Amino acid sequence: VRARVMQVEHSPDVTYEDIGGLEEQMQEVRETVEMPLDRPEMFEKVGIDPPSGVLLYGPPGTGKTMLAKAVANQTNASFIKMAGSELVHKFIGEGAKLVRDLFEVARENEPAVIFIDEIDAIASKRTDSKTSGDAEVQRTMMQLLAEMDGFDERGNIRIIAATNRFDMLDPAILRPGRFDRLIEVPKPNEDGREIIFQIHTRKMNVSDDVDFVELAEMADNASGADIKAVCTEAGMFAIRDDRTEIYMQDFLDAWEKIQQEASDETEVSR
Ligand code: ATP
Percent of the chain with pLDDT over 70: 91
pLDDT in tens, 130-183: 555 678 888 898 899 888 877 665 568 999 999 999 999 988 888 887 888 999
What's the gap in Å between 91 CA and the centre of ligand 1? 32
Cα gap 40→77, rounded to integer Å: 14
The answer to whether 70 and 18 are in contact (CB under 8 A) is yes
* Mean pLDDT computed over 103-124: 92
- Ligand 1, CB within 6 Å, residue ranges: 19-22, 60-66, 117, 162, 164, 196, 199, 224-225, 228
β pairing state of 53-57 and 7-10: unpaired
* Per-residue model confidence as pLDDT tens digits over 64-111: 999 999 999 999 999 999 999 888 876 778 889 999 999 999 999 989
CA distance to 11, 96, 209, per residue, from 214 (Å): 36, 50, 11
Compute the distance from residue 152 Cα to the ligand 1 centre, in Å: 31
Alpha-carbon torsion 154, 157, 158, 159, what sign? negative
